[in-house]
Structure 1
């Protein structure tokens, strides 16, 4: 038990960095997901093509390679990123691409009758999307966004490879100072990541429950 008492205070500062990284990159990913998702269903072919290229590029390549490219390669072109900003950017762009498919799928899942009814009410395209389609689609997006947020949390461990002192980085530093700490360190890391994930799990479930109130299932 004394081993864990010694390890936890040393790793705890890394947990704060991980939480900050999770919040910042989740916000960026959410914004990108909606922009790209709406772009995928745009009536303009150019917009659909550009967003499709972005989505397939970031879904089809490694998050680690993307992170290395942003942090190590972009400075050669005059774009300098701090480790934290590089991590947020890479995670936001990568998981935003996955999230865009959740947005697109939910929008396309809305029955055509909803659109036809809103057209009959003389609504503009923007009014149809904002007042009719999105309120229903968002309820369908919640489970997918919940899963993506958990995956994003697990993806934050990669920022230790670009020198950001997150939870994993701190744990590896402690483990390297004392090889006998290897097992306890990774037990603590597993528990800490799970504890950070719990609010996401219960938060999404609560949102799903609130969003389903008053909804009549067919």
Structure 2
């Protein structure tokens, strides 16, 4: 199970790219999740319609097709140039945002109606109600499924190898082509690395989940 130092260096470079794509995708996905999750609860029908179109479209399209479209088609349509890294996190972030929007909507709906009515009675603005009262109480409900989405995005980062981005999967496959006999060992290393990264994410999400739950007295 021991690889050469050069191979480990290549794997480490791939891990850094994978983590970069993951972080950027999650950041974009989180922003889109919040925006469209709130939009789906808007009092304005046209706002809800826009949010529904985005959510249904992004969830209904395969992530790999969306990735190819962003990388190969979007630059041609807009007359711009997108790097594999940019195309990768845009596609994954848009995909995550659609699923995350439903998570956010569900979390917001879980907040007791009395809380919202109290903020209205206090004459708080909509943005203030969301920021200071509703969203903080929804976070303990949002975090667990959002953590699952983050792990799905981590696994989805392997798709960026198909657009020549040198992530962990790309580096493993490239090393395998130069030394077929090390293929099983290389993929075993990749499996272990992805598992470790997923456990780190799961542990971090669990920590923040418990912390936010204690804040609102949801756990003893």
Task: Report TM bin, short chain.
Answer: over 0.9
Q: SS of 1:123's equivalent?
A: coil
2:152 match: 151
Which moved further from structure 2: 98-107 or 70-79?
70-79
With structure 2 as the length reference, what TM-score do the two structures score?
Answer: 0.93
Give, in whole Å, the separation in 1 of the partners of 2:51 and 2:95.
13
Matches within 5 A, 1:25-174: 25-77=25-77, 78-174=79-175
Give, in whole Å, the separation in 2 of the partners of 1:50 and 1:26.
22
List per-residue Cα deviations over 1:121-164 (Å, max 9, x = no partner): 22232222222211101121111111111110000000000010
List per-residue Cα deviations over 1:83-105 (Å, max 9, x = no partner): 00000100110001111111011
Q: Displacement, 1:68?
A: 0.2
Q: Displacement, 1:216?
A: 3.5
Q: SS of 1:23's equivalent?
A: helix
1:190 match: 191
Q: Displacement, 1:171?
A: 0.2
**Which 5+ residue runs of structure 1 have no aligned equivalent?**
none
1:204 match: 205
Structure 1 residues 203 and 217: CA distance shift in structure 2, 3 A = closer
Give, in whole Å, the separation in 1 of the partners of 2:32 and 2:86.
16
List per-residue Cα deviations over 1:162-194 (Å, max 9, x = no partner): 010100000000111111112101100001111
Which moved further from structure 2: 94-103 or 195-204?
195-204
Q: Displacement, 1:214?
A: 4.4
Give, in whole Å, the separation in 2 of the partners of 1:165 and 1:214.
41
Q: Displacement, 1:80?
A: 2.1
Give, in whole Å, the separation in 2 of the partners of 1:214 and 1:9.
43
Q: Displacement, 1:120?
A: 2.1
- Does the 8 A contact of 2:137 with 2:216 survive in 1? no
Q: What is the alpha-carbon root mean square deviation over aligned residues?
A: 1.6
With structure 1 as the length reference, what TM-score do the two structures score?
Answer: 0.94
- Does the 8 A contact of 2:33 with 2:100 survive in 1? yes
Structure 1 residues 32 and 214: CA distance shift in structure 2, 3 A = closer
